[in-house]
Structure 1
Amino acid sequence: MSNPTVENKKGSDPKSDANGASLPADGVGLWQVFLIFLRLGLTSFGGPVAHISYFREEFVARRKWLSDARYADLVALCQFAPGPASSQVGMGIGMALGGIRGSLVAWLGFTMPSAIVLAVLGMAFVGFDLGSVDGVIRGLKLVAVGVVAHALLGMARSLCPDVPRAAMAIIAAIIMIASDTVLAQFGVIIAGMIAGFVLLRGQAAPDSMDGHPVRSAKGAIVALVLFFALLVILPIAAQLDGTGLFAVIDGFYRSGALVFGGGHVVLPLLQNAVVDPGWVDADTFLAGYGATQAVPGPIFTFAAYLGAALHTGAGGTGVMISAVTSLVTLIAIFLPAWLLVVGLLPFWDRVRHVPSMRAGLMGVNAAVVGLLAAVLYDPIWTGAIHDLFDIGCVIIAFAVLQWRVVPVWALVGIGALAGFIVGLI
C-alpha cells in the first residue's frame, strides 16, 4: 500500500530535492515503514543518540529518503520539544513518509520489541541479573560508539562544510562537555540559530519541499490543544476516580510530557510517579531499569515493565491485568511525545523553507552536530572505552560502517556475539 501524500506526480522518476534525498517512485507503504522500524527496534542498542545515528544510516545514508539537512531539522525540533528525543525523531520520520498513520506504525515497530520483553519481566516480578550478559552489553556499547562516530562524521561533512559552521559545532561541543545540562542544550541550540541568522544569511537559499507536502495545520492545532488539555484533565480525573487507574495514567503521561532531554532524565519523574506512592518498591524499580539497559529500543519502554509490575496477582486474571496495565502505561508515557510531533511538525515544515529561517536552521544544525559530538565523548565514549582493546574494536566497527562491509543490524549481532565470546575467555 503506497501513501498518496508522497507519490510522484510526474511519472516513474523518483522525487528528489536539492540535497539529493529521494523517495521511491511508487511511494512508501506503511508496511515498509513498519518493518524497517521493527528491525531497528530489534537491533538499536546504545541509547537515544545511537538511535538517532541508526535512523540516519537507514533513511539518509542508505535509502536516501531524507536529506541530511531535513533530518537534522527534525532532530533539532525534537531537541526543542520535551519527550524521548529518539522516539520523536522516529515518529517524525514516519510522519514525513506516511502521515499520521506513518508516525504510529514507526512508533509501534520501534517500541514493540523492547516493550514486550520488559512487560514479561514485569509480569514475572523478578529482578534481572545483568552479570550473565556483561560481555554482550560490552560488545553492544562498543558497536554503539562506532555507529555514533560514523553518523557524526557524515553529518559534519554535510552540515558543517565551511569554517563558520565548523566553528559553531566545536563551540557547541565544548559548552556541552563543560556544562552538560538541559538548559545548556537549549542555550546552545538557540545560540546556533542566532549565529545562523547573523553569519549565514548570504548562504541560505529557499529550500525545496524535499518531496514532502506541507500538511494542514488543523490537525496539528488539535494535537497541541489535547497535549495541554490532558495535563489539566488527568489530575482532576485522578482525584475523582476511586480505582486509581487515572492516577496511574496521569503519572506516566506527566512523566512523558515534562521531561526534557529524554532517556535517563525520565527516571526521577518515574520514581516519583510509582515508587513514592508505594505502587512499586525501590528494588523492583531498579531491577527493571537495569533490564532496560540490556534491551534495544527506547528507554521509555521501562514504562511497560513498571505497568506490568503494578499488578502481581496469580493466575490468568492477574496476567491479563498486568498486560493491560503495561499497555496503558506504555501508551500514556509516549502519548505526549506523539502529540507534540503531530502538533509541531507541520508548523516546522512551513517555516523551514523561508530563506531567513533556513539561515537560522543552518546554525541550529551545526549546533546539533556539536551536541552529538559532546554526547559521543560523554557518556558514550567514557562509558564504553576502558582500554586499547576497546579502541581497536571501535575502529573496526567504524571501518565496517564506513566501507559498508555489512549492514548495521548485522554489525550489532556480530558485536553482541564477540562480546559474549570475549566475556567467556
Structure 2
Amino acid sequence: MPPRKRTRGGTCSVIDYTERLNSNIQALKPSGIRKFFDIASEMEDVISLSIGEPDFVTPWHIRQTGIRSLEDGKTFYSPNRGFMELREEICRWFQRHYHIAYEPKTECLVTVGGSEAIDNCIRALIQPGDEVLIPQPSFVCYQPLTEMAGGVPVILETKAENGFRLTPKELKAAITPRTKLLILPYPNNPTGAVMRRENLNALADVLRGTDILVMSDEIYSELTYGDTRHVTFSDIPDMRERTIVVNGFSKAFAMTGWRLGYALGPAPIIQQMTKLHQYAIMSAPTMSQLAAVEAMRNGDNDCVYMREQYDMRRRLIVDGFNKLGLSCFEPEGAFYVFPCIRSSGLSSEDFCEKLIHEEHVAVVPGNAFGDCGEGFVRVSYSYSIKHITEALSRIRHFMQSHHANTL
C-alpha cells in the first residue's frame, strides 16, 4: 500500500508517480532543441537562431483559403485519411515535382504534421527487437520514437568529410538479420546535407536483395540549392515498393502552425498507419487541409521565392562562420548550418550556454542530434538578414572574449 499522510479532512494516499509512470517514457531525454529556445523566451534582447521555423508568414492566398473555409462553415471532421481532394492534389504535386505516381485512395495519408507520419510509420512497422538504422546527426525524434515502439536504434555516424552523407559502406556494415527499417533524413536537419541521385543509387545497391524497408523523411525537399534539385528515394529503381515518403507543408509553404503533413507509400503500409491515425488522431484539421489544397495547386512560386531568400542567407552565414574561424560545412539543403566549434575549446553545451548568457544569442548544441554532433552547433538561417548579421557580430565578440584562436 502507498504511504498515507494525514490532512485536515482525514488521510489521503501519497502517490509515488515514478512507480506509476511508463518507465520507457521516463527514460527518454527531453528534446535538446527546446531547451535554449525556452531560455531565450525568458530573456530580453535575444537573437534566437535555434528553432527551425520559417520567418515568412504563410502566403496570403493560402491563408485566405483557410479563412474562407471558416466563413463557409466548413468546420467538421474530414475522412480519416484526409479529404480526397487534398490527397489527389498531393499525388499530382509529387508526380509533377518528383516524377513518381501514387494512388490517392490507397497510398496517401494526411497527418497532423510530418511528425505524426514519422511516428505512425515507425509504430506500424517496428516490433520489439527490430533494429532501425538511424544516420546521425539527424532530427531528434527518430531514436526516441524507435525506442517507444520497442525497436533497437542502430546509430550510423555520418562525417563532415563525407558531406554528412550516409555511405554504402557504413550502411552495409550496420545491417544484421534483425534490421527492419532504414531512416533516410535528407535534406538533413541539422547539417543541411543532401543525397544526390548517385548517392541514393549506391545505397539502393546495398538494399537490393534484402527486405529492409526505408522511411525517407523529405520535409525539406523543396529547400535544396544549386543546380541539382531534390531526388526522392522512391524514384530510385526497385525502391518504391520498400519506401515510405514523409513530407509536409511546414517548411516549403511556411505553414508550421497549420500542423499538416502526409505519407506516401505502399498501400498495405499506409493501411496500417491509417489505423494508428484513426485511433490516436481521427483526422487532420479541416481548415488546414483546405488551405493545403490551395498550396498544392498555386504555391509553387511561393516555394521558389522563399528558397531564393534562404539561399542568400545561407551564403551569408556560411561565409560569416568561416571568417570567424569556425569551420562550416556548406549546406546544400534545408535552412541550417552546422559549424564546428572545437577551436573555441568549449563543449557544444558549454558554448551554447555561455553564448546565450553572455551575448544573448541562442543556438542549439550539436549533441542534441546525436552524440556524434559533439563539437558542433546547429544554427538556423530561417531568420532575417538583419538578425543573422547581428548574431554573427555578437558571436565574433564572444570568440574574442574567450581568447579563441580564430581571428
TM-score computed with the length of structure 1 as normaliser: 0.25
Give the structure with the larger helix fraction. Answer: 1
The one of the two structures with greater contact order (alpha-carbon pairs below 8 A, sep at least 6) is: 1
Give the structure with the larger strand fraction. Answer: 2
TM-score computed with the length of structure 2 as normaliser: 0.26
Question: Which of these two proteins has the greater Rg computed from alpha carbons?
Answer: 2
